[in-house]
């Protein structure tokens, strides 16, 4: 678009042209010609650009959902092989890794007096986009698990690792997400490639989009879609009372503010600095 200086030249030229007065002396005529020439040069150097903020497209944007893992239907998913955690039950509803509440003592330096205390895990709420599901997964997780997900590249890669230590770390909530991701056709093709590399027979790829859509619709806040209601009427009406995993109140996940990317970077940097400067706390003696 024209700059402010060029617009000023245009206004001055238009005012001079429309003025009824005409210069009569030679000096005024010479200055008038110099002004007109400079104005024409300014007009010729203008560059007009169109404001094209975005290109027009008739394709609808891809719809995404923000699902809550603890809302996934438990009777569709095989039971977690390690069972629910009976200590620190809150970890059953998120990705807590092996974090627990730790108990110990505060030890006074002077008289060696002890007072009981506890340490809570560093828990935050974060939403990740799952390429396999095409949905955003919003869950509670510890800072250590968040760093592991960033190192793996995506939440799908974190959930699909098959080592026993990773399966035990997932907990019931992560196990439900892992099973749901494994039902997609892309992951089924990926598993067949791994089976062929190991010399095993590939399995038949099944279309389970209806079941995935049904589970995602239940795990998403709000009313069910017509597709999910039709599926429920076809024989799954008994699942209405079995959508929540566990017996604790899970409403706190919706009320907690989601961790932003900037706050995540600050937390990770502070955690690295804390471990680098204080590898152990000499004033605390923890008892697991």
In a domain, 272, yes or no: no
Tell me the mean pLDDT in the region 32-60. Answer: 58
Q: Could you report the per-residue pLDDT of 181-229, keeping only the tens digit for each?
A: 999 999 999 999 999 999 999 999 998 888 888 888 888 777 777 767 7
- Nearest CA to 211 among 189, 190, 182? 182
In a domain, 177, yes or no: yes
How far apart are alpha carbons 39 and 236 in whole angstroms? Answer: 78
Q: What is the pLDDT of residue 248?
A: 43
Bigger pLDDT: 212 or 61?
Answer: 212
In a domain, 169, yes or no: yes
What's the 3-state SS for 59-97? Answer: CCCCCCCEECHHHCCCCCCCCCCCCCCCCCHHHHHCECC
Q: What is the pLDDT of residue 75?
A: 76
In a domain, 161, yes or no: yes
Q: Could you report the per-residue pLDDT of 111-158, keeping only the tens digit for each?
A: 889 999 988 888 999 889 988 988 888 889 999 999 999 999 999 999
Q: What is the pLDDT of residue 188?
A: 92
pLDDT at 246 over 70: no
Bigger pLDDT: 251 or 94?
Answer: 94
User: If pLDDT is split at 50, 70 and 90, which confidence band does 240 have?
Assistant: very low
Percent share of the chain, pLDDT over 70:
63
In a domain, 121, yes or no: yes
Q: Could you report the per-residue pLDDT of 67-105, keeping only the tens digit for each?
A: 777 778 877 888 899 988 888 888 888 899 888 888 999
In a domain, 110, yes or no: yes
User: If pLDDT is split at 50, 70 and 90, which confidence band does 283 have?
Assistant: very low
* CATH code of 193's domain: 2.30.170.40
76 contacts: CB under 8 Å, gap ≥ 6 = 211, 215, 239
What is the domain range of residue 101?
66-224
Q: What is the pLDDT of residue 156?
A: 93
Q: What is the pLDDT of residue 58?
A: 66
Q: What is the pLDDT of residue 238?
A: 40
228 CA to centre of own chain: 25
In 54-91, which positions are buried (b, 16+ CB within 10 angstroms) versus exposed (e)?
A: eeeeeeeeeeebebbbbbbbbebbeebeeeebeeeebb
In a domain, 156, yes or no: yes
DSSP 237: G
Bridge partners (DSSP) of residue 285 are 105
In a domain, 218, yes or no: yes
Total count of domains within the chain: 1
Query: How high is the mean pLDDT of the chain?
Result: 75
65 close to 137: Cβ distance less than 8 angstroms:
no
What is the crossing angle of helices 185-197 and 164-182, to 10°?
Answer: 130
Sheet holding 284-287, edge to edge: 114-119, 102-107, 284-287
70 close to 221: Cβ distance less than 8 angstroms:
no
């Amino acid at each position: 678009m024209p700059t402010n200086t060029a617009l000023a030249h245009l206004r001055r030229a238009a005012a001079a042209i429309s003025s009824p007065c005409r210069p009569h002396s030679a000096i005024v005529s010479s200055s008038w010609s110099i002004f007109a020439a400079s104005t024409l040069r300014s007009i010729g150097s203008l560059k007009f650009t169109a404001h094209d903020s975005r290109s027009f497209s008739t394709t609808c944007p891809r719809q995404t959902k923000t699902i809550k893992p603890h809302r996934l239907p438990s009777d569709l998913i095989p039971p977690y092989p390690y069972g629910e955690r009976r200590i620190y039950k809150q970890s059953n509803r998120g990705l807590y890794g092996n974090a627990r509440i730790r108990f110990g003592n505060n030890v006074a330096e002077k008289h060696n007096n002890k007072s009981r205390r506890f340490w809570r895990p560093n828990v935050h709420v974060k939403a990740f986009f799952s390429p396999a599901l095409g949905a955003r997964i919003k869950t509670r997780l510890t800072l250590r698990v968040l760093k592991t997900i960033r190192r793996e590249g995506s939440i799908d890669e974190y959930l699909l690792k098959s080592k026993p230590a990773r399966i035990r770390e997932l907990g019931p909530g992560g196990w439900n997400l892992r099973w749901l991701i494994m039902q997609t056709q892309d992951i089924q093709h990926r598993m067949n490639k791994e089976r062929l590399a190991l010399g095993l027979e590939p399995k038949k790829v099944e279309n389970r989009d209806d079941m995935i859509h049904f589970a995602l619709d239940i795990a998403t806040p709000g009313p069910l879609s017509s597709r999910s209601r039709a599926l429920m009427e076809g024989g799954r009406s008994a699942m209405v009372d079995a959508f929540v995993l566990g017996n604790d109140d899970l409403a706190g996940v919706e009320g907690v503010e989601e961790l932003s990317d900037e706050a995540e970077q600050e937390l990770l940097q502070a955690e690295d600095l804390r471990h680098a400067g204080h590898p152990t706390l000499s004033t605390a003696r923890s008892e697991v």
